[in-house]
Amino acid sequence: MTIEFKTPDEIEKQLHQVQIVAENVMRPESRMLDDSEHARPLNFVHMMWPQMREMERANLEASLRRARNGSDSDNGAKPKSDEPKKPRTANLSLVHMIEMLSWGDAGVYLCIPSSALAGAAIQAVGTPEQKERFLRRFTEGEPKWGAMAMTEPQAGSDTSNIQTSAVFDEETNEWVLNGQKIFCTGGKLAYAESDGLIVVWATVDKSAGRAGMKPFVVEAGTPGLKIVKVEDKLGIRASDTASFVLDNCRVPADNLLGESGAKSGGETKGFKGAMRTFDATRPIVAASAIGIGRAAFEFARDTLAKQGVRMDYESPRWKLTTVQADLLDMEIQLCQAWLLTVKATAMLDSGDDNKLMASMCKVKAGKAVTVITQKAVELLGPLGYSTQTLAEKWMRDAKINDIYEGTGQINTLIVAREILGYTRKELK
């Protein structure tokens, strides 16, 4: 088996364009947008929307073709036995793009107009009809956003304790949602736009724990959905993090994602659907972490090189200075995290079960970016700690990658269970 480490040519071309945006649009506004939390990065949004709109369209069409033809091939036709199957690279292309955009500015990247986590959930568990109805809007018109609301005040990592309820009203053929959601990334953007939508996870049976969880699409402007707070945060300050209240919020029966919009929701993919969503999005979070880490590493490396401290790849480790050894360790951490992320993403593109690798790359990248950015500030001394450079900002931006999409501790548990063969009950 041959392992090819070269980035595909089509991704290289895309990365060149994204790098121009990162260097000339994101970086120049990085400090200003960090200081003016919740200001919308309009230049970035309008520059990225045409590309994201096309990407959303391609992903939707490919998904619908596969559903219609029952085939994994891009055009629905089964390849001849002597024809090599062209590998899918949609997710690989995405993680490369996100790594570069996060190198530019992670908070600004999170404002990118797209279906985001909502789209990932719809792609993971939605029917073809639901994908067409909800995701088609992201392929046309003006910029719009999607978001996902899962976390609650009493239910962070413990998703079995979700209290937001969904009760079916037979007379109106609607689901009635009541509860509170917090820490919804991009929630304000999705809430404010007329075509935005939020996937809300609620329980149809509290006594069933995780088995009672179901995903519902709540469209922007739906009565009963109210934004009550936008967080002031340590990092990723250009991105909004919102809290919602759902007060008798009514959604049509077929806004319940899955095979059935029936009264019980019994046939839909609840907790397992959430986990499938995270298997697709955790490599994306890892890529974002790596982009931040690379920004901090490269800045520290280049700044110290101007002072005469250069990377040394030739000398044995015992001959290196402490600073040279630290820089080498930072680069090693980046490379390890990136290889895990690429593997998890390649498995996703090929249709393989990537649960273990998705959590593994998320754990590694979350830890690596925390260590790398802190070390960059340390090596740069007063310059790193001051606001003269972006080093202290990268350190603040870094930590969220070890927290959202499943904390480092939770993902470590998932990795351990997968490797050792333990159930959730056996290893907590």
133: in domain: yes
Percent of the chain with pLDDT over 90: 78
Average pLDDT of the chain is: 91
Segment 227-254, tens digit of pLDDT: 999 999 999 999 999 999 999 999 999 9
Range of the domain at 343: 272-420
252: in domain: yes
Which residues in 48-60 are b (16+ Cβ under 10 Å) and which e? bbebbbebbeebb
How many other β-carbons are positioned within 10 Å of the β-carbon of residue 36?
Answer: 12
90: in domain: yes
Per the DSSP assignment, residues forming a β-bridge with 62 are none
Q: Which pLDDT does position 373 carry in this prediction? A: 98
pLDDT of 74 strictly over 90? no
Within 13 A of 385's CA, how many CA atoms are on the CB side? Answer: 4
Is there a single domain that holds both residue 347 and residue 304?
Answer: yes
For residue 278, name the pLDDT band (cuts at 50, 70, 90).
Answer: confident
Tally of structural domains, the chain = 3
Tokens describing residue 101: 């955009």
How many other β-carbons are positioned within 10 Å of the β-carbon of residue 373?
Answer: 29
For residue 72, name the pLDDT band (cuts at 50, 70, 90).
Answer: very low
Segment 190-225, tens digit of pLDDT: 998 889 999 999 999 988 888 889 999 999 999 999
DSSP, res 109: H
Is there a single domain that holds both residue 202 and residue 318?
Answer: no
Q: Evaluate whether 224 touches 247 at the Cβ level (below 8 Å).
A: yes
* Integer Cα distance of 428 and 426 in angstroms: 7
Q: Which pLDDT does position 85 carry in this prediction? A: 58
Q: Which pLDDT does position 335 carry in this prediction? A: 96
Q: Which pLDDT does position 77 carry in this prediction? A: 46
* Integer Cα distance of 231 and 240 in angstroms: 7
Is there a single domain that holds both residue 277 and residue 415?
Answer: yes
For residue 67, name the pLDDT band (cuts at 50, 70, 90).
Answer: confident
Token pair 């059935």 in the structure block, residue: 260
How many other β-carbons are positioned within 10 Å of the β-carbon of residue 409?
Answer: 11
Is there a single domain that holds both residue 199 and residue 316?
Answer: no
Q: Which pLDDT does position 1 carry in this prediction? A: 41
Is there a single domain that holds both residue 390 and residue 277?
Answer: yes
In 3-88, which ranges are continuous DSSP H helix?
9-21, 27-35, 42-69
Is there a single domain that holds both residue 256 and residue 388?
Answer: no
Domain boundary (243, 268, 293) is at 268
Domain boundary (247, 268, 289) is at 268
Is there a single domain that holds both residue 180 and residue 89?
Answer: no
Average pLDDT over residues 258-286: 72
Q: Which pLDDT does position 155 carry in this prediction? A: 86
Is there a single domain that holds both residue 234 and residue 178?
Answer: yes
Query: What φ, ψ does residue 90 adopt, rounded to 5°?
Result: -60, -45
Tokens describing residue 270: 């609840």
Is there a single domain that holds both residue 71 and residue 23?
Answer: yes
Is there a single domain that holds both residue 209 and residue 323?
Answer: no
Per the DSSP assignment, residues forming a β-bridge with 52 are none
Segment 101-143, tens digit of pLDDT: 999 999 999 999 999 999 999 998 899 999 999 999 999 999 9
pLDDT of 296 strictly over 50? yes
Segment 374-406, tens digit of pLDDT: 999 999 999 999 999 999 999 999 999 999 988
In 251-404, which ranges are continuous DSSP H helix?
271-306, 322-349, 355-380, 382-385, 391-398
Task: CATH number of the domain at 394, please.
Answer: 1.20.140.10
Is there a single domain that holds both residue 250 and residue 336?
Answer: no
Is there a single domain that holds both residue 321 and residue 399?
Answer: yes
Q: Evaluate whether 240 touches 254 at the Cβ level (below 8 Å).
A: no
Task: CATH number of the domain at 154, please.
Answer: 2.40.110.10
- Catalytic residue set: 405
Task: CATH number of the domain at 54, please.
Answer: 1.10.540
